[in-house]
């Protein structure tokens, strides 16, 4: 199985053999350091792909990294604007 995305709290997977898409409901997987641990295993109807774990990460972690990188810049920019507005008054 290949990781596609996490949508509405559910995990989307794709069979490596036939390409069929599978949805794993919120309570049937847990995030792990390597990706996701599936319980129960996901078995494709083609019979070729059974998975208990999937490598991959949720995309939101990239968003959090960007957020924490730009947060100090936004705070600095707000201070500069406040100082400029104070000097005009």
The per-residue pLDDT for range 68-89, each reduced to its tens digit, is: 788 888 899 999 999 998 888 6
Is the same domain home to 70 and 49? no
**What pLDDT was estimated at residue 62?**
64
Mean model confidence pLDDT for the chain:
84
* DSSP letter (8 states) at residue 22: E
d(CA 21, CA 78): 46
Is the same domain home to 25 and 5? yes
Give the position of tokens 């794993």: 24
d(CA 27, CA 48): 24
Question: Is the pLDDT at 60 greater than 60, yes or no?
Answer: no
Is the same domain home to 79 and 68? yes
**What pLDDT was estimated at residue 47?**
82
Is the same domain home to 74 and 52? no
For 71, the domain range is: 59-89
Is the same domain home to 40 and 64? no
Ramachandran angles phi, psi of 39, nearest 5°: -150, 110
Is the same domain home to 15 and 52? yes
Is the same domain home to 31 and 74? no
Taking residues 56-71, report their average pLDDT: 69
**Which of the pair, 79 or 65, is modelled with greater confidence?**
79
Six token digits for residue 6: 């996490």
């Amino acid at each position: 199985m290949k990781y596609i995305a996490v949508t509405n709290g559910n995990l989307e997977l794709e069979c490596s053999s036939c390409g069929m898409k599978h949805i794993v409901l919120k309570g049937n997987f847990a995030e792990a350091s390597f990706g996701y641990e599936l319980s129960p295993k996901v078995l494709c109807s083609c019979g070729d792909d059974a998975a208990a774990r999937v490598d991959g990460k949720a995309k939101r972690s990239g968003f959090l990294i960007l957020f924490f990188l730009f947060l100090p810049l936004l705070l600095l920019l707000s201070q500069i604007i406040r100082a400029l507005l104070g000097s005009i008054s």
